[in-house]
Amino acid sequence: MKTIERIPTGIPGLDEMIRGGLPVPSITLVAGEAGTGKTTFCNQFLCKGAEQKEPGLYFMISGGAPSLVFKFASTYEFVKEDYFCREIHYIDLGEAAEKTKGTLDLLDLIQSKITEFQSKRVVMCNTSELQEILEGDYRRFLIKLARTIKDMGAVSLITGETGPGYPYPADIAHIADGIILLHNTEVNFMRRRSVEVLKMAGTPHMSGKHALDISAKGLTVYPGL
Amino acid sequence: MKTIERIPTGIPGLDEMIRGGLPVPSITLVAGEAGTGKTTFCNQFLCKGAEQKEPGLYFMISGGAPSLVFKFASTYEFVKEDYFCREIHYIDLGEAAEKTKGTLDLLDLIQSKITEFQSKRVVMCNTSELQEILEGDYRRFLIKLARTIKDMGAVSLITGETGPGYPYPADIAHIADGIILLHNTEVNFMRRRSVEVLKMAGTPHMSGKHALDISAKGLTVYPGL
Amino acid sequence: MKTIERIPTGIPGLDEMIRGGLPVPSITLVAGEAGTGKTTFCNQFLCKGAEQKEPGLYFMISGGAPSLVFKFASTYEFVKEDYFCREIHYIDLGEAAEKTKGTLDLLDLIQSKITEFQSKRVVMCNTSELQEILEGDYRRFLIKLARTIKDMGAVSLITGETGPGYPYPADIAHIADGIILLHNTEVNFMRRRSVEVLKMAGTPHMSGKHALDISAKGLTVYPGL
Amino acid sequence: MKTIERIPTGIPGLDEMIRGGLPVPSITLVAGEAGTGKTTFCNQFLCKGAEQKEPGLYFMISGGAPSLVFKFASTYEFVKEDYFCREIHYIDLGEAAEKTKGTLDLLDLIQSKITEFQSKRVVMCNTSELQEILEGDYRRFLIKLARTIKDMGAVSLITGETGPGYPYPADIAHIADGIILLHNTEVNFMRRRSVEVLKMAGTPHMSGKHALDISAKGLTVYPGL
Amino acid sequence: MKTIERIPTGIPGLDEMIRGGLPVPSITLVAGEAGTGKTTFCNQFLCKGAEQKEPGLYFMISGGAPSLVFKFASTYEFVKEDYFCREIHYIDLGEAAEKTKGTLDLLDLIQSKITEFQSKRVVMCNTSELQEILEGDYRRFLIKLARTIKDMGAVSLITGETGPGYPYPADIAHIADGIILLHNTEVNFMRRRSVEVLKMAGTPHMSGKHALDISAKGLTVYPGL
Amino acid sequence: MKTIERIPTGIPGLDEMIRGGLPVPSITLVAGEAGTGKTTFCNQFLCKGAEQKEPGLYFMISGGAPSLVFKFASTYEFVKEDYFCREIHYIDLGEAAEKTKGTLDLLDLIQSKITEFQSKRVVMCNTSELQEILEGDYRRFLIKLARTIKDMGAVSLITGETGPGYPYPADIAHIADGIILLHNTEVNFMRRRSVEVLKMAGTPHMSGKHALDISAKGLTVYPGL
C-alpha cells in the first residue's frame, strides 16, 4: 500500500475527512447550486496555498473584471490584499477561448500559465461556459485538460453547477478523481448547509453529509454533525 | 476585509437582509413565477433612486408602449408621475434588437444609454426574450453584458422567469453576482409570498425564506417571519 | 396613484376579484386544461360586451366552421342568437395564416378587423396552433400582437393550453398583462373547479383559488369559497 | 338555448352521462393506455349504428388485414358477422398515406369514402401513426380533417394513446369537440377501470370518473359508481 | 361470437389467464426491465413448440454467437439439446440489417426464413436495436413486419425494454395485438416478480399482476396470487 | 442442463450470489453512481486473476496516465506492485480512438491486445466516453465489441454511469449478459452501500440488494444482509 502525497484544502474540518488533503496530482469537482459557496471554497483553497507561498491560478470564464472577483472575495478574513497578482493570479479564459476557438490553443494557454507561475493549485471556474464556445470539442477538451493538469503534477478544483434533478455535471465528473458536493437544502422553511465527499481516488474518506458553516472565516466543516 | 459600496433597493426589510443594499457594481437576478412581483420589485428599485435624484434605466423587450408599463406601475404609492422620462427612462430594446441583429450593436446601445443618462440603476426586463432573437449569441451576449455593466459601475437587476422544475434561468444565474428569488407558494389552497436571497457576492446575507407582502406600498419584506 | 379604466368580464364573482374588470388596454392569458371552460369564458366575455352593444371579435384557428363554435356555445343562457355576425364576429385565422405565411400580413388582418368592427373586446383562441405555422416567427409575432392590440386600446383574452408539469404556456405569459388560471383538479375521485388570478397588471387582486361553477348560466365564481 | 342533434354511442350508461349521445357533427377523442378498451369502444359505436342500418367507417393505419380487426372484435356479442363489409367498412389508411404522401390526397380519400358509404359514424384508429408519415404536415392535416368531417355532418371518434405523464395526445385534443378518457388504474395491485368525460362541446355532462366494465357485452358504464 | 385458434405459451399458469394461449395469428409484445425473464419467456415459448415438433424461429440482433444464446438458455430444464438447429433456429438479424440497409430486404429475409422453416412460432429479440440501423424507416418497418407475420399465419413474440417512466416501448405496442408485462418490483428491499396481461386482442383475459417465479423449470405463473 | 464454466470475481460474498463466478465467455455491466466503487470492483477483479497468474487488461478512455490509475488503486491491500505491467496492463483507448476514428480499427486494437496478452479478464472503463468520439457508430461498436470479446472466450466487465432517473446505461445493458448494480443510497442523512445482481445469463442468482462494504480490503459483499 503506497502513501499518496496530499495538500490541505484550507477548509477546517474537510481535510480530516479526506486523510489530510487532496491527492497530488488530481482533479476534484466541487459541485453545488448557486449560493452554496463554490467560489468561496476555491478562493479559500488558493489562499491556503498563498499563505504557504504556493502560487495559485484561478481561471475564470464569465463576465466582470478579475479584480472584482478578488474584491468580492476580500470580505473573507482569509484573503490578504497582497495575495492578488502576487501569489494568486486571476486569468479570464473566456476572452482567450473566443479568440483562439481551438481546443489545443486553449490547453496551450492553460499549460503555459501553470508553467509560468509554477502553480500547484489550479482553480477552473464556470467551466461549463466553455461548452457553448467549444461545442462538439468540449468533452475531448475536458479529457485532455485532465491529462495536462495531472501530467504537470497540479491539484485542480473545477466548479460545477447543480440543477434540480442532477447532482453534478456528468461530463466533468467523468474526468474527476474526486467529487465534493455542497448542499444548501431546505428543511422546514430553513436552509441547512452540508458538505459531502462523494468520491476521492486513492483516499478512504468519510461518507455522508456533514454540517457546513459559511461565515467571515469562510467555509468550516463539522465532520460528524 | 474591504468595505464594499452599496445602494439600497428601496424595499423595506430587504436591505436589512443584505447589509444595507446591493454591491456597486453588481448584477442581481430577480427570479420568480408570473405574478410574484418581479416588475414591481424593479420599479420600486428605480423609484428609490429617482427619489434621491439618481437616474434609472428600464430596458424592456416585450410588447406594449413604455408609457403603459409606467401607467400600470403607477397604481403603487411609491411612483410619482414626474419620474417618468425625467428620472426613469423606459427603453424598448426589442425593436433595437430586431433592427441591429448584432450583439455588439445591442451592447453599444445599452452602453450609450447608460452613459447618456448617467444611470447607476439599470433594470433589464424579460431578457430571456433576447434568446430567440440572438440565438447562438445569447450566452456570449450575457457574458459581455455583465462585463459592460460592471465596467461602467452600475447596479443592475435582471428579471428571470421561473418554471416548474427550475428555480431560476441558469444562463442568467451564471453571470449574476446575486440571486433573489420571489416565491408565491400554494399552501393548503392559499398562496403565501416570500423572498429568498440565494446568493449575494461580497455580502454575508440572511438565508432562507422571509415573508413578503405586496400592497399599494409595493413590496415589503419581514425578515425573520 | 392613477385610476385605470376597466371593463367587466361578465363572469359573476370574477370582476369583484379584480377591482371591477380587466384594464383597458390589456392582454389576459386564460389558461387551463381541456374541459376547464376556456371557450365558455371567452364567449361569456364577448356576450357581456354584446349585451352592451360593444362589438366583439373571436379569432379562431382550429377546424370547424365558425357557426359551429357559436352553435355549441348557444346551449348557454347568456348567448342570444342575434349576437352572431352582428355584435360578435367569428374569424378563422388559420386559413389566413396559411395563405399569407407572413407575420406582418397576419397582424394587418387582425388590425384591420379590429378597426372594421371597432371591437374593444378581442378573443384569440388556440393561438398556440400558430406556432406550427409561423415557426421561428411565432414569439416575435406574439410580441408584435401585444403591441398592436394595446396600441388600439383593445382588451384581449388569449386562451392557452395547460399540460401536466406546466401551468400555462410561457411564451404567451411573457406578453400578457394578466394571467387567469382555470383549474379542474381531481380530489378523491371527484373533480373540483376553481379560478385563480395569478397576475393582473395595475390591479391589486384577490389571490389563491376560488370556487368555480359551470352551469347553463356559464361560469360563476364564488370568491372566498 | 338551441337543441343539438345527438346520436347514441351504444355504450350502456355513457349516453346518460352526455345528454343522450354525441353531438352531430363533432369529433371526440377517445384516449387511454394500451388495454383500456379504445378499439372495443369504437367497434361498439359502429355496431350501434349498424344495428340501426347507419353505415360506418373504420379507418385504420397499423398492420394486419382489416378482416383481422373485425375477427378479434367478433368475440363481443354486439358484433354481427354480416355487418362486415356491409354496414361497417374497414379501410387501411396506412397504405394510401404512403403512396400519396400528400395531406390533400389523404383528405380526398377520407372524404370520398364518407361520401361513397354515406357514413355518419366515422372511426379513426391509431391516427398518431400518421405523424411519422406526414411529418410537418401532421397538425395541419388534423385541422383540415376536423373541418372536413364536420362539414360533412359526420360524428367521428379518434383514438389516442396515453403515456405516463400526459393524459391524452395534445394535438388531437386541440381539434376535438369532446374528450373521453378510459382509465385502467392500478389500486393496491388490482386494476380498476373507469371512464371520464373531460369535455363535450355543447353538452352539459357528468364529470369525474365512473366505473367501467368490459365483458363479452363490450363496455358498460355505471354512472355514479 | 367466433372461436379463435390459439397456441399455448408453454408457461404454466399463463395460458389459463388468456383462454388457453395466444391467438393465431398475432403479435405479442413481451416487455420488462433487464433481468425480468424476457429471454427465458421466449425460449420457453419456442421449446413448447419444439416439444410438439412445431418449428420455431428466434431472430436476434445483439452481439454474441447464436449458439451462446442457446447455451445460456440450456441451464433450464425445458431445453433439450437436440432442439438447437433442428426445431429451433437462431438467426442473427443484425448482420443482415447492416448489409442490406433496406427495410424491404430485411422483411424479405424474415419472410423467407418463416417460409423455409414453416415456423408458426417466431421470436424477435432486441428489435429496438433496429431503430438505430433503420432510422426513419423503423416505424414503417414495424407496421409492415406486423402485416407480414400475420399474413403468414404466425404467432410472434417481440421483446421490449422497459425504462424508468415508461412501461413498454410505445412504437412496438402500437403494432401489437397483445401486451404482456414482466415486473420485478422492489418492495422493502426485496424483489417481487409478477406478470400482467395488459391487452390481448380477441381474448377476454385476467387482469392485474399475478405472481411469477423463475426457477430451473423456467417461468411459472400463479394466477390469483 | 449444461454446466457453464465460471471464474471468480475476487469479491468476497459476491461469487456465492452467482454460483461461483462469472460465466465464460460473458460481458457484465457494472453500473453505479460516482463513488459507488466501480473502479475498485474492476481492479479487484483483475487482481484476483493476477493472483492466479491470469493476465488482465484494463482499457481506459478518460484522462490521466495509466500509472496513476494503478497508483490510486494501490491503496487497497489486494494490489501488489509487481502486478503492474506484468499481470495487468492498462491501455489508454482514448488516444487510439481519436487517431483511428474508425470502429473497426478500434476493435482490431482491442482484439490484438487480448491476443497479445492472452487475457481472460478484460475491463472496459468509461466506455460511454466513446459515444462522443464514435457518434453514430457507437451502438454498432458495442454490438461488435460484445461479439469480439465473447468469440475470444474472455470475461469482460464494462463500467457504466448511473444518473438520477436511470439505473444503468441502456445501450450497454443491451449487449450485456449480466448486470450488477452498486448502490450508495442516502437513508436518513446516512449513506448505505449495497450490491444487486439484476441479471446474469445462464446463472440462477440471488436477487435483491445485499450489504456492501468498501474498506482497505476492497469490496466485500454480505449476502443476505
Interface contact E191-F207, CB threshold 8 A: yes
- Checking if the pLDDT of E102 tops 70, the result is no
Q: Which residues 3-62 in chain A show a CB within 8 A of chain B?
A: 33-35, 39, 61-62
Q: Are D218 and D38 in contact (CB under 8 A)?
A: no
Distances (CA, A) of F174 to E125, E159, F32, F178: 11, 12, 17, 10
Question: Of E199, E209, E222, which to mutate for an interface test with D (greatest number of D Cβ within 10 Å)?
Answer: E199
- Checking if the pLDDT of A87 tops 60, the result is yes
Interface contact C129-D201, CB threshold 8 A: no
Helix (H) or strand (E) holding F89, with range, is strand F88-92
- Position D128 confidence tier, pLDDT thresholds 50, 70, 90: confident
pLDDT of residue C69: 84
Interface contact E63-F199, CB threshold 8 A: no
Contact of chains E and D by CB distance (3 or more pairs under 8 angstroms): yes
pLDDT digits (tens, 9 = 90+) for B107-147: 999 999 999 999 999 999 988 878 877 877 888 889 889 98
Distance CA F34, CA A177 (A): 10
Question: Of D137, D144, D199, which to mutate for an interface test with C (greatest number of C Cβ within 10 Å)?
Answer: D199
Our CA-based measurement puts residue A14 at a distance from the nearest CA of chain F, in whole angstroms, of 17
pLDDT digits (tens, 9 = 90+) for A54-63: 999 999 886 6
Look up residue E2 and give its three cell numbers: 367466433
Distances (CA, A) of E7 to E84, E145, E176, E210: 21, 20, 17, 21
Q: With beta carbons under 8 A apart, name residues in chain C contacting B41.
A: none
pLDDT digits (tens, 9 = 90+) for A138-197: 888 898 899 999 999 999 999 998 876 678 888 898 889 999 999 988 776 677 899 999
pLDDT digits (tens, 9 = 90+) for B33-54: 888 999 999 999 999 999 999 9
Interface contact D191-E203, CB threshold 8 A: no
Look up residue E108 and give its three cell numbers: 424479405
The amino acid sitting at A140 is R
pLDDT digits (tens, 9 = 90+) for B176-216: 999 999 998 877 667 789 999 999 998 989 888 999 999 99
Q: Which residues 120-159 in chain D show a CB within 8 A of chain E?
A: 126, 128-129, 132-133
Helix (H, G, I), strand (E, B) or coil at F102: coil
- Position A74 confidence tier, pLDDT thresholds 50, 70, 90: confident
C-alpha dihedral sign at B142, B146, B151, B156: positive
Helix (H, G, I), strand (E, B) or coil at E99: helix
Contact of chains C and D by CB distance (3 or more pairs under 8 angstroms): yes
* Partner D contacted by E104 (CB < 8 A): no
Q: Are B220 and B211 in contact (CB under 8 A)?
A: no
Interface contact A143-F35, CB threshold 8 A: no
Q: Nearest by CB to D163, which of E140, E142, E170? A: E170
Residue D66 or residue F113, greater confidence: F113
Helix (H, G, I), strand (E, B) or coil at B223: coil
Look up residue E32 and give its three cell numbers: 420488462
pLDDT digits (tens, 9 = 90+) for E22-60: 999 999 999 998 889 999 999 999 999 999 999 999 998
Q: What is the CA radius of gyration of chain A?
A: 17
Our CA-based measurement puts residue B27 at a distance from the nearest CA of chain C, in whole angstroms, of 22
Greatest C-alpha distance within chain D:
50
Our CA-based measurement puts residue A222 at a distance from the nearest CA of chain B, in whole angstroms, of 19
- Checking if the pLDDT of B167 tops 90, the result is no
- Position A2 confidence tier, pLDDT thresholds 50, 70, 90: low
Helix (H, G, I), strand (E, B) or coil at E120: coil
Q: Are B193 and B214 in contact (CB under 8 A)?
A: yes
Q: What is the mean pLDDT of residues B41-68?
A: 90
Q: Are C37 and D199 in contact (CB under 8 A)?
A: no
Q: What is the mean pLDDT of residues E137-148?
A: 87
- Checking if the pLDDT of A102 tops 70, the result is no
CA E99 to chain centre: 25
pLDDT of residue B97: 73
Q: What is the mean pLDDT of residues D59-86?
A: 86
pLDDT of residue F1: 46
Q: Give the E:F interface size as CB pairs under 8 Å.
A: 84
Residue E191 or residue C212, greater confidence: C212
C-alpha dihedral sign at F9, F11, F14, F15: positive
* Partner D contacted by E193 (CB < 8 A): no
Helix (H, G, I), strand (E, B) or coil at C28: strand
- Checking if the pLDDT of D63 tops 70, the result is no
DSSP F21: S
Q: Nearest by CB to B143, which of A63, A77, A186? A: A63
The strand pairing partners of A181, in sequence order, are A31, A196
Q: What is the mean pLDDT of residues C24-41?
A: 94
Interface contact F75-A177, CB threshold 8 A: no
pLDDT of residue E1: 46
Half-sphere exposure of B19 (CA within 13 A, CB side): 15
Interface contact E174-D189, CB threshold 8 A: no
- Checking if the pLDDT of B21 tops 60, the result is yes
Interface contact F204-E64, CB threshold 8 A: no
pLDDT of residue A194: 94
Q: Are D82 and D109 in contact (CB under 8 A)?
A: no
The strand pairing partners of E213, in sequence order, are E220
Distance CA E39, CA E158 (A): 10
- Beta-strand ranges (E) seen in D33-134 are 56-60, 88-92, 121-124
* Partner E contacted by D72 (CB < 8 A): yes
Q: Nearest by CB to C63, which of D144, D165, D203? A: D144
CA dihedral E164, E165, E171, E175 (to 10 degrees): 100
Q: With beta carbons under 8 A apart, name residues in chain B contacting C151.
A: 65
* Partner E contacted by D94 (CB < 8 A): yes
Interface contact C146-B76, CB threshold 8 A: no
Distance CA D166, CA D164 (A): 6
Our CA-based measurement puts residue B155 at a distance from the nearest CA of chain C, in whole angstroms, of 24
Upstream peptide bond of C25 is cis (omega within 30 degrees of 0): yes
Q: What is the mean pLDDT of chain B?
A: 88
Interface contact C65-D150, CB threshold 8 A: yes
B182-187 contacts, C-beta under 8 A, 24 or more apart: B182/B30, B182/B31, B182/B32, B182/B36, B182/B37, B182/B38, B182/B41, B182/B212, B183/B32, B183/B36, B183/B209, B183/B212, B184/B32, B184/B33, B184/B35, B184/B36, B184/C207, B186/C208, B186/C209
Look up residue D89 and give its three cell numbers: 367498412
Query: Residue A165 CB: number of other CB atoms within 10 A?
Result: 10
* Partner A contacted by B199 (CB < 8 A): yes
Interface contact E198-D34, CB threshold 8 A: yes
Helix (H, G, I), strand (E, B) or coil at C142: helix
Instruction: Report pTM.
Output: 0.82
CA E42 to chain centre: 5
Tens place of pLDDT for every residue, chain F, 225 residues? Answer: 467 899 999 999 999 999 999 999 999 999 998 889 999 999 999 999 999 999 999 998 866 777 888 888 888 999 998 998 899 999 988 777 777 666 778 899 999 999 999 999 999 998 887 887 777 788 888 988 998 999 999 999 999 988 766 788 888 988 899 999 999 887 766 778 999 999 999 898 988 899 999 999 999 999 987
pLDDT digits (tens, 9 = 90+) for C2-32: 678 999 999 999 999 999 999 999 999 999 9
Contact of chains B and D by CB distance (3 or more pairs under 8 angstroms): no
- Position E105 confidence tier, pLDDT thresholds 50, 70, 90: confident
Please tell me the least confidently modeled range out of C97-106, C172-181, D174-183.
C97-106
* Partner B contacted by A64 (CB < 8 A): yes
Our CA-based measurement puts residue D173 at a distance from the nearest CA of chain E, in whole angstroms, of 19
Half-sphere exposure of E17 (CA within 13 A, CB side): 28
DSSP string, E185-215: EEETTEEEEEEEEEEETT-----SEEEEEEE
pLDDT of residue D1: 47
pLDDT of residue E11: 97
- Checking if the pLDDT of D189 tops 70, the result is no
Q: Nearest by CB to D4, which of C75, C76, C165? A: C75
Q: What is the mean pLDDT of chain D?
A: 89
pLDDT of residue D199: 92
pLDDT digits (tens, 9 = 90+) for F164-209: 667 888 889 888 999 999 998 877 667 789 999 999 998 989 888 9
pLDDT of residue B13: 96
